[in-house]
Structure 1
Amino acid sequence: MRNIFSFLLLIIVLFVQAQDFNSIEYQFPINPGQQNYLAGTVGEIRGSHFHTGIDVKTGGRTGLPIYAVADGFISRIKVSASGYGYALYMKHPNGTFSVYAHLEAFDPKIASWALKKQYEKESFEVDLFPEANQFAFKRGDIIGYSGNTGSSSGPHLHFEIRDSNQRPIDVLSLGFKEIQDNIPPVVRKVAFITLEEDARVNGFFGRYEFDLIKTPTWFQTKEPINLKGKIGVEIYSYDPMNGIPNKNGIVKTTFQLDGDTLFSEFKEAFSFNKQRNVLVHYNYPAYKKGSRRFNKLYLADGNEHNIYTIVNRGIDFSDQNEILIETEDSYQNASTTRILLTADEITNPPKLYKPEKIDNFLHFKSQQQGSVMLDEWVPLKPYKTEDENQYYLWDLREGIPKSLFIDGETVPTGLVGMIPSNQKISYLQNEFTLNLKSRSLFDTLYLAFEKEIDSSRNLELFHFKNPTQPIRSNMDIALKPVKSYNKEKAMVYSVFGKRFNFMGGEWNEGEIVFATRDLVSYTILEDSIPPDIELKMANSDYLKFRIDDDLSGIKSFKAEIDGVFILMHYEPKRKLIWSQKLNENIPFKGRFTLEVIDNSNNGTIYTKTL
């Protein structure tokens, strides 16, 4: 019943969208009438979200004209040093919106108005909402110029079409002739993961990847695979396009077992409030351990995304079956993957070098009797013996083991507790307190932790050893240090080898509290060194500086002449700021002051008489 309801709801949504989009013929936003190439498509997995637009290549150049794709008016203007950088949002008569991001400059009318607002607010970063029709444009009018601003990693145009509910849709479904694609998707690998204790892939518990080969008809595994019990199926796939080497996203995937459709996803539109669910849409733990981003063809615990029309939570395999997986891109190019399953027993021992956690289980091997330490040692029976190795499973819901006995040695697990999802919980330990909201976790967290004093670097390290755990929303961690710190300058930093990333924090009665969505290693560092300011150019017409900070990073900057605000544009990638006058005819004259403050509130002031 749920699947039928979801399917009918999708049909209604698509019908409404069709009325919106069919009422307007959209023009391509850049180089219209010419072949364009993409660096990204809608639905690609980008870390913690699906990509919501297309990234149009600009040949490494900036300053190309950007055109209004349809009649309408500018409804939002945003300028930011991160994210979309310089961005325009346009509303069209049918209620849809178009978005143009990472721009270098706006249309002069828009730019002049935005500049005045920046001076009024005395801020480079602004989020502005002009009145309706204040900046009206016709289809094909130039509204801005392409750039490389914000979090862009290279010059390009990020372009979106959103429906009347501000949900990004698959732009390529509108059939722009500027993009050519007659190449079907590629499916490189398939993976199977055991979801219950008695499930097996080729005789073993765990997650296993298999290469696929291309035949004239389909992609397939090199040899049959034996599956028993409840199994989740995953694929690594991408979509090539004409003339470019990029591996783009796929909008449609369907999974069939013996002719029955058991899973279907369609990335036609996205809800921004569901985007974080992508962390359980693909196999995040496997990716963090060095694998590719494998698309799950089953609904994982905590996944609330609305791109699925038919779902399963794992499939019970028993007899010989045939799996067919169809992948389709925005231009209806499709590929089929065929996987033959056999009822014959297959023994293929895993490369299990150390204990691994799969869902609610610890999986390990030992050449001697394996045991787990709870209040006392509990001997285990192997579920499989192969050659000289015995393979063991421990259900973590039966207790959190402090250690495992493997090959005659005691191996600490580092596990300190089990934290359920969908509950507001404060988890207290001597070294920290973990405060979780009811929506922080997708699934049960088996928390691992270790405290370390690194005497060589004089660091107090708080190792949260769950880097592969996907987290839905921020949780607060209160660290309880034993060292003394200058609380005016000491903040929390995440630790990745020799690299430190500023996290911030507030001190409260000897603890420092910060928000995070990552259970990795943290430390507390004091930053007492102020930012650097390097003069690049200063005259009556133009001011340019390089600003940098070697630890906590730049928090703010402000420029004035005789106490009057001067707008400075900021490009963090190049660590540059530069001036823009409100009135180009008035020279910079007087006492110029530039103050730069870092995230530990160290400040540097540069002065010069102009």
Structure 2
Amino acid sequence: MRFLLFFLLFSGAILAQTEYPKDYFSPPLDIPMQLSGNFGELRPNHFHAGFDFRTLQREGLEVHAVADGYVSRIKISTYGNGKAIYITHPNGFTSVYCHLQKGVGAIENYIEKAHYKEKSFEIEMFLKPNELVVKKGQTIALTGNTGSSEGPHLHFEFRDSKTEKIINPMLFGFDKDVKDTKKPSVSAVYVYPVDSKTSVNQSKRPLLLNLSLQKDGSYLANKVAANGKIGFGITAVDYDNVSGNRNGIYKLQTYLNGKPSFGYQLDTYSFDDMRYVNALIDYSRYKTTSQRVQKLFMVNPYKLSFINTDDANGIVTVVPNLTSVYRIEVSDFQGNTTKISIPISYDLSSTIIDKEPVVSNYFVKVNKDNNFTKNNMSVFFPAGTFYEDFDMNFNVKDDTLYLHDETVPVHSNFTITIEDNKYTESQKEKVFIADISKSGRVGYNSTSRKDNVFTTKVRSLGKYTLAMDTAAPTISIGSAIEGKWLSTQKTIQLSINDSGSGIKSYNGYLNGNWILFEYDNKTRRITHNFSDGIVAEGANDLKVVVTDNVGNSTIFETQFFRSQK
């Protein structure tokens, strides 16, 4: 009966698998596909949602619709994906194109009208099927470097149009354009004592294992002698034959004595999965060394949809009179696989290396609400804020809240409350709860206030305090244009900055009419293009207003001349 039930469940899963069209979509660029980032790569606070295509280290390459469809969404942001276009296709999938320089043709005209209608650079529009229809191969945009891009490239995604789940582009036949005969590279394997009672090779701290290459191409780790519960972690990347980029791995599977223990395959996942990257990796090691070690076990199970584990959640319990073999297999999409075997035996030798001491005065339980108060400051952690129980250091000293440190990952928002009656009513409008970085930089957090009580929701541990910002933003221009003729210039460019709470908004006006300024967060410059057609013949009065997050404003005014003839 149990076998029949397993067979029915397995058959149902096979039948439910989505069939992805292999030859329906064409490449979005005319140049050969070279990756600077692949699907599922480990990134800060998220898994990479698509492919990053190289664009010859420059902007302005034509971007093509990969199939017939219609533009269903356009989002322009100063951060994140920058300028992004979404195309919904009749076969149930949506393609996404990000960090664009600009749209082309009717799409760019539509975007420009929306900017002026909403009087904002940052816009988001959801379109109907008949508004902007596109054909396969049609040029829809030019590649750029907008948003949080760290260099010119095209970020490209596929999504399920109904569920919004992100899908690996390799499944749509893009694997044939990326030649890869290289096995993934595993640069480090760690073994972890899972609890305070366990020691591994006489250590209560994680240890790096030595790997020896075998004649068959696999690797053998040095023997693990332990008692109690242990887990493993790896640092691994994959290379293709063309780009030379350090890509993320596609598939991982571990086995304990031949039985599957912990694994995943990066075919598809949802946006709800994204932040669980901080649970998958050894977050403390990442924050202190920048090394991303994937933990192949879960102390407290987390809801990452593509993880599959045994009943022990990948944890190995080492018991007397039993030797075990733990095997790790890491694969890319083409099936190139690296295998590592780790022998495990029971050992009760005295501990030589003790657990690293933790400065703490409280203990946080993951599955319970936690509230801590001292003096005039308090913090509330709802159940599920963290991934694992931990010893926390909480203190208030010199008007500063010391909330452990950044080595513990936070999954969801928690609340900080500070009561202070030293400010006047006018000053309170300029006060916010600030985070303080290691370098001493003060960061703004959106803060609400009721009388003398200030409240904010944040998603990282560290130092917090009340800060007041009474300094207005700055506006500057590289070369003065007062009274000058700008007939040959294509743009006007200004630099804007705020060293306190940060810029909330900026608006430009030409002869009293609102004009579009595009903001580049990397250079902190705003640019108006005269091709918008707002500039007048002869004299033009320019006014720019910049406001920070607590309401301080600066106004820049000048007059210039321009001939359109």
Q: Structures share a fold, TM > 0.5?
A: yes
Verify: 1:441 aligned to 2:443, yes or no: no
User: Is the Cα contact below 8 Å between 1:490 and 1:526 reproduced in 2?
Assistant: yes
Verify: 1:478 aligned to 2:417, yes or no: yes
1:445 Cα deviation from its structure 2 partner? 4.7
Distance (Å, rounded) in 2 between the aligned partners of 1:7 and 1:567: 61
1:316-369 CA deviation, whole Å, 9 max, x = no partner?
1222211111111122111111112244666673376x514xxxxxxxxxxxxx
Q: Which residue of 1 aligns with 2:286?
A: 287
Q: Which residue of 2 aligns with 1:395?
A: none
Q: Number of residue pairs matched?
A: 543
Deviates more, 1:337-346 or 1:313-322: 337-346
User: Is the Cα contact below 8 Å between 2:221 and 2:343 reproduced in 1?
Assistant: no
Distance (Å, rounded) in 2 between the aligned partners of 1:491 and 1:4: 62
Under a length normalisation based on structure 2, what TM-score does the superposition of the two structures give?
Answer: 0.88
CA shift in 2, pair 1:438/1:322, >3 Å: closer
Distance (Å, rounded) in 2 between the aligned partners of 1:420 and 1:536: 54
Distance (Å, rounded) in 2 between the aligned partners of 1:441 and 1:343: 32
Give unpaired runs (5+ residues) of structure 2.
Answer: 561-565
Under a length normalisation based on structure 1, what TM-score does the superposition of the two structures give?
Answer: 0.82
Match of 1:602 among 552, 558, 564: 552
For 1:476, the aligned partner's letter is T
Distance (Å, rounded) in 1 between the aligned partners of 2:397 and 2:14: 55
Distance (Å, rounded) in 2 between the aligned partners of 1:195 and 1:4: 36
CA shift in 2, pair 1:305/1:591, >3 Å: same
Q: Which residue of 2 aligns with 1:497?
A: 439
1:74-104 CA deviation, whole Å, 9 max, x = no partner?
1111111011000011111111011110011
For 1:604, the aligned partner's letter is T
Residue pairs, 1:329-348, within 5 angstroms: 329-343=332-346
For 2:444, the aligned partner's letter is F
Distance (Å, rounded) in 2 between the aligned partners of 1:190 and 1:219: 14
User: Is the Cα contact below 8 Å between 1:24 and 1:94 reproduced in 2?
Assistant: no
Distance (Å, rounded) in 1 between the aligned partners of 2:544 and 2:14: 53
Match of 1:544 among 493, 501, 504: 493
User: Is the Cα contact below 8 Å between 2:375 and 2:396 reproduced in 1?
Assistant: no
Distance (Å, rounded) in 1 between the aligned partners of 2:35 and 2:133: 28
Residue pairs, 1:358-397, within 5 angstroms: none
Q: Which residue of 1 aligns with 2:164?
A: 166
Verify: 1:134 aligned to 2:131, yes or no: yes
Deviates more, 1:306-315 or 1:179-188: 306-315
For 1:469, the aligned partner's letter is V
1:11 Cα deviation from its structure 2 partner? 7.5
Match of 2:365 among 420, 424, 446: 420
If asked which structure has higher relative contact order (CA below 8 Å, sep 6+), I would say 2
Distance (Å, rounded) in 2 between the aligned partners of 1:3 and 1:151: 51
CA shift in 2, pair 1:583/1:467, >3 Å: closer
SS at match of 2:477: strand
Residue pairs, 1:393-404, within 5 angstroms: none
For 2:133, the aligned partner's letter is A
For 1:543, the aligned partner's letter is I
1:257-304 CA deviation, whole Å, 9 max, x = no partner?
111111221111011112222211112122223262111222341510
User: Is the Cα contact below 8 Å between 1:65 and 1:146 reproduced in 2?
Assistant: yes
1:563 Cα deviation from its structure 2 partner? 3.1
1:584 Cα deviation from its structure 2 partner? 2.5
1:514-549 CA deviation, whole Å, 9 max, x = no partner?
111111012333222211111247547632211112
Q: Which residue of 1 aligns with 2:316?
A: 315
Give unpaired runs (5+ residues) of structure 1.
Answer: 357-412, 454-459
CA shift in 2, pair 1:205/1:583, >3 Å: closer
For 2:46, the aligned partner's letter is H
Q: Which residue of 1 aligns with 2:375?
A: 430
Residue pairs, 1:12-31, within 5 angstroms: 18-19=18-19, 21-22=20-21, 25-31=24-30
1:497 Cα deviation from its structure 2 partner? 2.5
Residue pairs, 1:18-167, within 5 angstroms: 18-19=18-19, 21-22=20-21, 25-31=24-30, 34=32, 36-164=33-161, 165-167=163-165
1:452 Cα deviation from its structure 2 partner? 3.2
For 2:146, the aligned partner's letter is T
For 1:149, the aligned partner's letter is T
User: Is the Cα contact below 8 Å between 1:119 and 1:582 reproduced in 2?
Assistant: no
1:483 Cα deviation from its structure 2 partner? 6.0
Distance (Å, rounded) in 1 between the aligned partners of 2:556 and 2:7: 63
User: Is the Cα contact below 8 Å between 2:209 and 2:222 reproduced in 1?
Assistant: no
User: Is the Cα contact below 8 Å between 1:569 and 1:578 reproduced in 2?
Assistant: yes
Q: Which residue of 2 aligns with 1:390?
A: none
For 2:62, the aligned partner's letter is P
CA shift in 2, pair 1:308/1:200, >3 Å: same
